[in-house]
Amino acid sequence: MLGRTLSMVLLATVAAGATAGDSTASVLNDWACQPSTAHPRPVVLVHGRGGTVDDFGPLVTSLGAAGYCVYGTNYGQVDGQGQYGVDHLRYSAAQLEVFLRQVRAETGATHVDLVGHSAGTGVIANLLLARGGDAYVHRAISFAGLHHPYAHAGVPGFLDNDLYLPNLIATARLVDPDITAQQVITAALAVYAAVGGSLASVDVETATSNFASDLFDPVYWAMLHGGLSETSTTYIKLAAAGRSLRVDDASPSVCYTNIVGVADLLTGPSAGFQDPAPNVDNFLLPTASDHAQILADPIAMTRALAALATTCPYAGAGDSGDPDDLADDGDGVPDDGDADGVPDSGGGGVAVGGCSASGLPASVVFGVLIAVSVMLLARRRRREVAADTVDGRLGRGALVREPIAPGKYLWRRARASRGDDSTIGLDRFEPRELDTPS
């Protein structure tokens, strides 16, 4: 039955692709569209960093041909200017929340289905896990999404590796509590590239955005997931090894479909897949589509349309009307029922769980090199900030030196608030003795 459903959806997708050149304006954000009995939930598209809803052109065409009401908004500008999708994830999620309220009000639908690409998945995750969006979101589909904070990058001769940047930032803050996520990311990527790592230019752009300060900040992810997915000493590992620790990365009342491509140089399974659960479908796309092309990949679109056509049995988990009594026992653990009629294997894809912590010795060497480099950066920055004064007044976050012995100083941190949201609660520290900077 599943095979027949996928075949029918694939034929519909190919047929819709034949008219992909037509304008999608009549389909996207048609506020006169009313959800049907066959498709009772509006589909809302969430673009990635630096993108727009126009990136979903072929998918919009396919959804419209299938009879869905389709909506999307551009979000995440900083101060209303520049690229979209580059602001803090929590700010972008707040904007998405407002838009979803409008969609539900206009269509009369109680629930919506979300489709995210790349960083848009991070926005969806914040909405569902931190803002209560799982109360009205039925299904979340991710194309090359970022569920976890890994920088996917290849090293020639050492297969495929992931940088786990939250631990780099946590380590650097042991030396300089005020160092920003952007500074650590930039340093780590520079070191990684210097030793032969292959990194796309998008990584450099991402490192300088507000988006990065959430994406790779250990405080952000610990709060969102209830913990981090790697031990504190893990900085780099083989992407094929998966994540080491389980976290709360999914709402039990939402069905998830995660599509990651084997040819994607930016998002690998470690970042794009969630921990195995009955309501999670992780699908490894075997085609040559890259990070952007995945949105127009026929197999990926077929997988997404098949998921949208299936009712999630876990929606409303814990409610009195829950059909399969999911989590009604109060333990928050999904039952053993089928997630959504779309198994993790099949359709030419490969199911990847990811609970192993193995890796090549080369990964350990690279990890230590990067960690040491980042710590040296933090130490140098700490010394530079110590001399940060303007017209005799302390700069924000500056350190004050008080001589206590020849060659010894007592360092005190200025109590000024940073005010730029790049760090969280980093202005409360005890003074300590340090050697004279060289």
Among residues 293, 308, 323, the one where a domain terminates is 308
- The answer as to whether 238 is a domain residue is no
Which domain does 368 fall in, by range?
Answer: 157-225+359-375
Instruction: Sort strands 389-390 and 393-394 into parallel, antiparallel or unpaired.
Output: antiparallel
Neighbours of 156 (CB within 10 A): 8
Check residue 154 and give its pLDDT. Answer: 56
- The answer to whether residue 237 sits within a structural domain is no
Q: What does the DSSP assignment read for 178-219?
A: T--HHHHHHHHHHHHHHTT-B--HHHHHHHTSHHHHHHT-HH
- Contact in structure between 415 and 427 (CB atoms under 8 Å): yes
**Predicted pLDDT at 336:** 33
Phi, psi of 144 (to 5 degrees): 50, 45
- For the entire predicted model, the pTM comes to 0.73
Is residue 371 within 8 Å of residue 168, measured between CB atoms?
yes
User: How high is the pLDDT of residue 246?
Assistant: 95
284: helix, coil or strand?
Answer: strand
Please give the full DSSP string across 208-259, using - where no structure is assigned: TSHHHHHHT-HHHHHHHHSS-SS-TT--EEEGGGB-SS----S-TTSEEEEE
Residue 141 shares a structural domain with residue 204: no
Q: 25 and 77: one domain? A: yes
Same domain, 413 and 371: no
CA distances in angstroms from 143 to 89, 201, 413, listed in the order given = 17, 20, 44
Residues 302 and 425 in one domain: no
pLDDT value at residue 173:
83
Residues 208 and 129 in one domain: no
* 205 and 264 fall within a common domain: no
Instruction: Classify residue 43: in a domain, yes or no.
Output: yes
The last residue of one of the domains, among 308, 327, 342, is 308
Sequence-separated (6 or more) residues with CB below 8 Å from residue 372: none
Closest by CA to 276, choosing from 250, 300, 253, 254, is: 250
Residue 422 falls inside a structural domain: yes
217 and 139 part of one domain: no
pLDDT at residue number 372: 61
d(CA 255, CA 274): 11
- Element of type H or E holding 412: strand 408-413
Phi, psi dihedrals of residue 435, rounded to the nearest 5°: -70, 160
Tell me the chain's radius of gyration from C-alpha atoms.
23
> Rounded to whole angstroms, how far apart are CA atoms 114 and 100?
10
At 142, which CATH number?
Answer: 3.40.50.1820
Please indicate, yes or no, if residue 352 is contained in any of the structural domains: no
Query: Do residue 83 and residue 180 come from a single domain?
Result: no
Would residue 336 count as lying in a domain? no
Say if residue 208 is in the same domain as residue 162. yes
Predicted local confidence at residue 242, as pLDDT: 80
Q: What is the pLDDT of residue 293?
A: 96
Predicted pLDDT at 103: 98
User: Cα–Cα–Cα angle for 129, 130, 136, nearest 5°?
Assistant: 65
Domain end among 288, 308, 328: 308
Domain assignment present for residue 70? The answer is: yes
- Let me know if residue 231 belongs to a domain: no
Instruction: Assign 137 to helix, strand or coil.
Output: strand
- 8 and 125 inside one domain: yes
Asked if residue 60 and residue 189 are part of one domain, the reply reads no
In terms of domains, do 280 and 140 share one? yes
**Averaged pLDDT, groups of 10, the chain, 438 residues long:** 45 44 74 96 96 96 97 94 93 97 97 97 97 97 94 56 82 80 73 60 65 86 94 79 90 97 87 96 95 96 97 67 32 35 34 33 54 63 52 47 52 44 33 40
User: Residue 141 carries which side chain, given as an amino acid letter?
Assistant: I
Q: Where are the alpha helices (DSSP H) in 287-356?
A: 298-308
In total, how many domains does the chain have?
3
